[in-house]
Structures are given as structure tokens and as C-alpha cells.
């Protein structure tokens, strides 16, 4: 953190200066009179809860949306950013949480998409492209093959390719919007080294993250937004955590977890020799009623597939799943739901939510067949049940007809959770449910999980964030190369133990 002082040796004018910018979508004000500025070569953190206006500011800077009012000064001149192409010409690029890669193309083709090296006849020089990508990756310390198909890469690797793609344009400003949320700790390390390298060369990094520990290691300055307004900006390290959290939330938020309640000794779920070849092998677990069972490990060691298999969405090649002493056959999600198992999938936007449909339709989707008579939907009982879910999850929506995609990230996730809860199963599978979600909403989700467990619902909780596994789980199993290499319970559950097991250090 001592590096902060030397680095913020500011040039006279900031590189980018945004003044009095406002933007509203329909009736919703996403930004009100916001100010923001950053200098060359700094790592600037944007802080705020979901829906505070960070993403909107980023979209304005990338030319995705246009501000309703306000001015932007860039490199000392007043300017407008008319489109993403315009932004990238000006040297502003962004890496979003949602990947913008073309799955069917190779890594190299993706990296150079839109600025491919061409012969004078206008044909793409694939050889040159591959070599350039090789060089770029070597520079960045990436070990991904430029020729592999993006669809075949893990989510974390895809995210790294996305970052490489942004860097291949040699930007002046690079924006990371929740770019670390899909990354495991190794990849995050890699990314940070990368960021340090490019900022040394004078590139500015704007960094959105909800993980404070990350920011501690990398941020030089920060700007806080709350409720669509600018709240404060400061040099990182000069302001205490409490103050930052206070600015973000506008109220005191305990970052504590709800107390772990004892669970019953009855077996709810027994997994015997479960194998899905290529994904995970020989998993044996006995999970109790009302238990919150954590799944940990480095990204891509079979955890997601394990959860999907329990939901019938990933083929099981061997082994048994026994629910309430009955062996069940998982032919697909439908049979899993019937057996009382529901899943909150990892990828909220592509697997969890129908973004263009209403909150109502989304919430009801998993349980349509329960509220029907001769195929007709019982509208009244549906509304009642959904209202109940909206209330208990505290989903902020103007009405149930609102488009799900127009909700903030945290509320979108609550809708996905609500959908699974409405299935009223005994077993709930949560795949990284707090990814990219603000502190306040996270606490709410933990509290909600704790309440469900107290009601006797068994939760299997896969997460990429260690503190929350430590904070809420009764037991944690660590996956390594598709196998459970360690299980911890009670006091043994510490970040240290989990990391050691995940890395395979004794």
C-alpha cells in the first residue's frame, strides 16, 4: 500500500474526467450528476452495491450507452463516446463479467476479432494471427493454446482470453467489470501481475470488484457510488474499511455470517461411488438433514459438474444417489425436481434467468406443473405464492411483470434462488450463488440459507469464495482433479486448510 503515494504522482490534468453525468432507463435513474476522474497508470476501483451506478458509468465510458447529460474530458479534450468502436479507437476497452467471446472460433481468432492481420487482398493471415497471439500470451504469462476452440476452455480460461483480447488492442484505459468473479485464486494472481505490468507502462485500469481483499492488493484510488450518485473518492489505504463500507451501504453492515445452527442427524442424501467420467470420480458423501455442506476447490476440478449431476443435468456413469433412503434415477432436471432436488445454476444470465421475460414467469418456471389444472395455470394461487417468495427473499421489483433483465444483479440472483425454492424440495444445490453480488445482498443470502437449513432443508453449497464457505458451512469437501481429497467439519474449516487441500499441499 505504500506504493500508493509514489504512484499517484499526478500529472496536471487527469487522463479521464467525467462531470455531472446523468443517465436514466425509462423511469429508473441509473446515474445522477456523477463525477469521476482517473489519472494515467493508476488502478482505480469503482465501489458500490449492485445497482449503484457503476455498470452504467462503465457502459458510458465504453460507448454502449449515451449519457442523458454531462461532459466527458479525455486526454485534456472534451469529447463524446459514440459507440463501442469509437471507445476502442480512443483506447478505452472493457472486460465484462459476461463473456463476449465467440465460442466456435479459436482463441487466436477471438483475440483478434475485428482487427485481424490481413494480407493486401483483405484475407486474414491466420499464421501471423497465431504467432501474435503466442507472443501476447507469452508476454502475459498465459499457457492457453491459441488454436484451441473457446467453447472447449474452462470458464476461467475464457475469462483470461477475454482479458487478453482487450489487451491486444493496447488500450489507454482498460475496465474490468467483475472480471475476477469467474477466476480461481491462481488466475487472479496471474491477472494482478498482468495489471501491475500494464499500469507500469502508463495504462489505466478501472476495476470493479466486490472483493475487498483483492482491492487491498491492487487499487491505487477508488470512487464510491451509492443509489446512482457519486459519494466519495480517495487514495486507497488512506481511509478505513469501516468508512468505505459505510459509504457503500449508507448504513452499518455487519459482514458477519449468521450463526451456524445445529442440524439433525437424519441422513437426507447419500452419494455412493458417484462418477461422471471426465468430470469427477468415486464421490462418497453422507449429508444430513438441515446441513449446509460446502464444496470447495480450485476452479474447474469437477465441482460444477458434480452439482449438475445431482440435478440430472450431467451424465452419471456410475454410482448411486440416495434421497431419504430411496435410490433415485436422475434422467434429467425434471426427475431431480420430482425427487426434491433443485439447483441454482452457476451462470445466472445464461442458465438461471429468462432475461427478457417477467419476474413472474421466471419465478414460476420450475413449478408450472404444480399449479395447474388440466394444463391451465391457476393465476391466483400463482400470484400468492410468488408474492410470498418476493417478500421472503426481499426482491426489489416494482411489480411482478417487470422484465427480469432490468433488475440489478443481486435481485436477479434472488429471483433464480426464489425459483428453486418454490419447488419446495428437501435438497437445494447452490452453485456459486454470490458471484458478483454486493455485500448487503450476500449477507441476505447467507441469512436466507441459514433459515432454510433451520427448516430442515439440506443445502449443498459450491463456492469460489473461501470466507463464505468458512462462514456458513457445517462441513466442507474439497475437490481436486475430480475427487474429494479432504473433508473438514466444525473448527477444522479454515481458509488455510481448504487452500492446502485444494493445492494438494499436505
Partner 1 sequence: MNTEMVKKNPLHSKITVSVFHKYGVLKIYVTMVSIYIISGIIQPQYFAVDHVMQLLVIASFLGIAAIGQTLVVLSGGLDLSIAYTLNLGAVIMTQVSIEHGGVAAFAAVLAAGIFIGAFNGIGISYLNISPIIMTLAMSSILKSITYVYSNGNPKGASPDWLRFLGTGSILGIKTAVIIWIILSAAVVVLLVKTTFGRKLYSVGTNTSVSYLSGIQNKRLIIMVYILSSLFSVVAGMMLVGFYGLSHLGMGDSLLLPTIAAVVIGGTSILGGKGGYAGTAAGAIIIYLLMSILTVLDINDAGKQIIYGLVILFVLFLYGRGKAVRL
Binding status of residue 311 toward partner 1 by CB under 8 A: yes
Binding status of residue 351 toward partner 1 by CB under 8 A: yes
* Residue 5 or 372 with smaller CB distance to partner 1: 372
Min CB(419)–partner 1 separation in Å: 7
Cα angle 392, 387, 371 (rounded to 5 degrees) comes to 115
Closest C-alpha among 82, 55, 148 to residue 110: 148
Binding status of residue 376 toward partner 1 by CB under 8 A: yes
Binding status of residue 150 toward partner 1 by CB under 8 A: no
Binding status of residue 454 toward partner 1 by CB under 8 A: no
Per CB under 8 A, the list member of 68, 369, 492, 495 interacting with partner 1 is 369
Min CB(227)–partner 1 separation in Å: 13
Min CB(238)–partner 1 separation in Å: 32
Instruction: Give the count of residues interacting with partner 1 (CB under 8 A).
Output: 53
DSSP codes of every residue in 94-147: EE-SS----TTSBHHHHHTTTS--B-TTS-B-HHHHHHHHHHHHHHHT----TT
* Residue 106 or 443 with smaller CB distance to partner 1: 443
Q: Is 53 left (phi over 0), alpha (psi -120 to 50) or beta?
A: left
* Residue 25 or 200 with smaller CB distance to partner 1: 25
* Residue 24 or 37 with smaller CB distance to partner 1: 24
Roughly what angle, to the nearest 10 degrees, separates helices 185-200 and 155-167?
10
Binding status of residue 212 toward partner 1 by CB under 8 A: no
Paired strand residues for 471 = none
* Residue 429 or 478 with smaller CB distance to partner 1: 429
- 283, 308 in Cβ contact below 8 A? no
Residue 255 — φ and ψ, nearest 5°? Answer: -85, 20
- 244, 279 in Cβ contact below 8 A? no
Min CB(311)–partner 1 separation in Å: 7
Per CB under 8 A, the list member of 299, 397, 443, 463 interacting with partner 1 is 397
Site for partner 1 in 321-350 (CB under 8 A): 332-334, 336-337, 343, 345, 349-350
Min CB(321)–partner 1 separation in Å: 17
Closest C-alpha among 179, 180, 210 to residue 441: 210
Binding mask 85-124 for partner 1 (x = CB under 8 A): -----------x-x--------------------------
Cα separation, 480 vs 502, whole angstroms: 6
- 296, 484 in Cβ contact below 8 A? no
Binding mask 167-206 for partner 1 (x = CB under 8 A): ----------------------------------------
- Sign of the CA dihedral 392, 225, 221, 233? negative
Task: Give me the residue label for grid cell 436466507.
Answer: 448
Binding status of residue 82 toward partner 1 by CB under 8 A: no
- 15, 41 in Cβ contact below 8 A? no
Per CB under 8 A, the list member of 164, 188, 191, 407 interacting with partner 1 is 407
Per CB under 8 A, the list member of 408, 413, 458, 463 interacting with partner 1 is 408
Residue 378's SS3 state is coil
Binding mask 60-79 for partner 1 (x = CB under 8 A): -----x--------------
Binding status of residue 383 toward partner 1 by CB under 8 A: yes
Which one of the spans 82-90, 111-119, 202-210, 406-414 is the region binding partner 1 (CB under 8 A)? 406-414
Closest C-alpha among 407, 398, 293 to residue 348: 407
- Using only C-alpha atoms, the chain has a radius of gyration, in whole angstroms, of 24
Cα separation, 348 vs 43, whole angstroms: 28
Min CB(305)–partner 1 separation in Å: 14
* Residue 189 or 378 with smaller CB distance to partner 1: 378
Task: Give me the residue label for grid cell 504467432.
Answer: 131
Per CB under 8 A, the list member of 16, 41, 55, 57 interacting with partner 1 is 55
* The three-state (H, E, C) secondary structure of 233-279, written as one string: EEECCCCCHHHHHHHHHCCCCCCCCCCCCCCCCCEEEEEEEEEECCC
Paired strand residues for 313 = none
Write out the residues near partner 1 by the rule CB under 8 A.
Answer: 25, 55, 59, 65, 96, 98, 311, 313, 332-334, 336-337, 343, 345, 349-357, 361, 364-366, 368-369, 372, 375-377, 379, 383, 387, 390-391, 394, 396-401, 403, 405-408, 419, 423
Amino acid at each position: 500500500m505504500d506504493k500508493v503515494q509514489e504512484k499517484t504522482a499526478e500529472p496536471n490534468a487527469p487522463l479521464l474526467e467525467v462531470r455531472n453525468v446523468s443517465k436514466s432507463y425509462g423511469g429508473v435513474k441509473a446515474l445522477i450528476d456523477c463525477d469521476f476522474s482517473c489519472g494515467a497508470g493508476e488502478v482505480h476501483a469503482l465501489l458500490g452495491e449492485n445497482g449503484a451506478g457503476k455498470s452504467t458509468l462503465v457502459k458510458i465510458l465504453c460507448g454502449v450507452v449515451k449519457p442523458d447529460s454531462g461532459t466527458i474530458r479525455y486526454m485534456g479534450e472534451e469529447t463524446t463516446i459514440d459507440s463501442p468502436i469509437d471507445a476502442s479507437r480512443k483506447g478505452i476497452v472493457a472486460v465484462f463479467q459476461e463473456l463476449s467471446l465467440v465460442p466456435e472460433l479459436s482463441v487466436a481468432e477471438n483475440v483478434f476479432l475485428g482487427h485481424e492481420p490481413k494480407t493486401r487482398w483483405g484475407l486474414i493471415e491466420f499464421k501471423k494471427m497465431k504467432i501474435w497471439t503466442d507472443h501476447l500470451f507469452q508476454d502475459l504469462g498465459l499457457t492457453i493454446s491459441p488454436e484451441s476452440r473457446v467453447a472447449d476452455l474452462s470458464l476461467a480460461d475464457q475469462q483470461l482470453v477475454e482479458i487478453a483480447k482487450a489487451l491486444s488492442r493496447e488500450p489507454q484505459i482498460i475496465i474490468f467489470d467483475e472480471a475476477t468473479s469467474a477466476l480461481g485464486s491462481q488466475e487472479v494472481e496471474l491477472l494482478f501481475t498482468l495489471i501491475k505490468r500494464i499500469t507500469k507502462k502508463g495504462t489505466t485500469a478501472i476495476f470493479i470488484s466486490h472483493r475487498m481483499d483483492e482491492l487491498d492488493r491492487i487499487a491505487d484510488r477508488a470512487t464510491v457510488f451509492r443509489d446512482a450518485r457519486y459519494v466519495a473518492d480517495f487514495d486507497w489505504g488512506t481511509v478505513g474499511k469501516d468508512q468505505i463500507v459505510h459509504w457503500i451501504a449508507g448504513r452499518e453492515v455487519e459482514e458477519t455470517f449468521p450463526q451456524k445452527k445445529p442440524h439433525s442427524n437424519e441422513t437426507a442424501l447419500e452419494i455412493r461411488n458417484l462418477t461422471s467420467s471426465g468430470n469427477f470420480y468415486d464421490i462418497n458423501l453422507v449429508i444430513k438433514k438441515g446441513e449446509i455442506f460446502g464444496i470447495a476447490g480450485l476452479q474447474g476440478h469437477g465441482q460444477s459438474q458434480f452439482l449438475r449431476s445431482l440435478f440430472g443435468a450431467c451424465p452419471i456413469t456410475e454410482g448411486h444417489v440416495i434421497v431419504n433412503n430411496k435410490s433415485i434415477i436422475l434422467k434429467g432436471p425434471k426427475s431431480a425436481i420430482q425427487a426434491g432436488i433443485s439447483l441454482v445454476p452457476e451462470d445466472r444470465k445464461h442458465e438461471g434467468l429468462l432475461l427478457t421475460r417477467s419476474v413472474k414467469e421466471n419465478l414460476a418456471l420450475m413449478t408450472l406443473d404444480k399449479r395447474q389444472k388440466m394444463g391451465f395455470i391457476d393465476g391466483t394461487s400463482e400470484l400468492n405464492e410468488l408474492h410470498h417468495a418476493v417478500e421472503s427473499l426481499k426482491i426489489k421489483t416494482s411489480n411482478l411483470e417487470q422484465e427480469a433483465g432490468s433488475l440489478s444483479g443481486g435481485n436477479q440472483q434472488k429471483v433464480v434462488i426464489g425459483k428453486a425454492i418454490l419447488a419446495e424440495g428437501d435438497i437445494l444445490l447452490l452453485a456459486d450463488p454470490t458471484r458478483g453480488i454486493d455485500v448487503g445482498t450476500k449477507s441476505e443470502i447467507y441469512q436466507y440459507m441459514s433459515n432454510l437449513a433451520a427448516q430442515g432443508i439440506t443445502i449443498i453449497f459450491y463456492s469460489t469464495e473461501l470466507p463464505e464457505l468458512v462462514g456458513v458451512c457445517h462441513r466442507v469437501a474439497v475437490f481436486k482433479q475430480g475427487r474429494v481429497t479432504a473433508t473438514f467439519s466444525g473448527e477444522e474449516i479454515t481458509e488455510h486448510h481448504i487452500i492446502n487441500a485444494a493445492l494438494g499441499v499436505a
